[in-house]
Every structure is written in C-alpha cells, then in structure tokens.
Amino acid sequence: MKKLIIINGPNINLLGKRETSIYGTQTFDEYFNTLVNKFPTISLEQYQSNIEGELIDKIQEVGYSYDGIILNAAAYTHTSVGIGDAVKAIETPVIEVHISNTAVRESFRHQSYIAPHAQGVILGFGLQSYELAIQSFS
C-alpha cells in the first residue's frame, strides 16, 4: 500500500471560513475524509502547520520513508528558501499543490522556491488539486 502525506502550510486550517470566493466553503478535514474514502488502497495522512520550521521538520521526518508528499506550503511557497531546500534534500518525491491559480494572482505569488525541486506542480483546480496529486503517484 502506498503511503502518502499531505502537508499543508499557513492558513489552510481556515479553509471553509477564509476567502470563500477563492477557497470555497469546505474545510480541509471534510475534504480529506472524501480523499480517504476515494482512495482506499492508499495510506493517506495529513499534517498542517502555520509555522515554517515545523513544516521543514515534517518534510525531513517523512522524506526518506514515504512514497510521496503532497505539499501545499501556501504563502511559504513564495518566501521560504528553507522549505525549498528541505524538498531538495529528501528522497521522497514531492508534488507542489495550490488550490488557487497562483499564476493569475498577485505577482509575488508567481515565484516558487519549491517547484524547482518538486516532481510536479498542480495549481488552480480548487481542492481537486490534491486528488490530481494523489493520482500522479498511482
């Protein structure tokens, strides 16, 4: 059974409340339950933190033993050299995910410190971006 983890960065814990016109009304926990039911042959875990160092710690912790990481570093995508370096340092493949299409948002969101070290990038498909990332590991 493949073992995948979804690692979410800052403010993803506010899904369902935050900017619903961009991110929708469903919480991530609700959506995660949907994913677990949709992919019963994959061991799925999730982790979320608003703290950059905790995200780096989690990437390092799972980066040599899991089959894949789905990483939505949120705003840290565009600011954290440290998270980019953590992704570069590990062996586990990483798919960078974004709920919104960051390419059509503010210009600072066009830079990713993760993408150069990721296996791929999926953005702009709403929460379905996570599902597409899971499918990429199949």
Catalytic pick among 23, 31, 76, 113: 23
Verify whether residue 23 is a known catalytic residue: yes
Please tell me which residue, 128 or 100, carries the higher pLDDT value.
128
Per the residue annotation, which of 31, 98, 113, 130 is the catalytic one? 98
Task: State phi, psi for 96 to the nearest 5 degrees.
Answer: -80, 130
- Go through the chain and tell me how many residues it has: 138
Q: How far apart are CA 81 and CA 87, in angstroms?
A: 10
- Angle (CA) 21-56-36 rounded to 5° is 55
pLDDT digits (tens, 9 = 90+) for 53-80: 999 999 999 999 999 999 999 999 989 9
- On the question of pLDDT at 138 being above 70, the answer is yes
114 neighbors 96 (Cβ within 8 angstroms): yes
CA distance to 23, 30, 35, 57, per residue, from 17 (Å): 9, 13, 20, 27
pLDDT at 107: 74
The two most distant CA atoms of the chain are separated, in Å, by 40
Which residue would you say has higher pLDDT here, 71 or 104? 71
pLDDT(25) > 80: yes
Which pLDDT score is estimated for 55?
Answer: 98
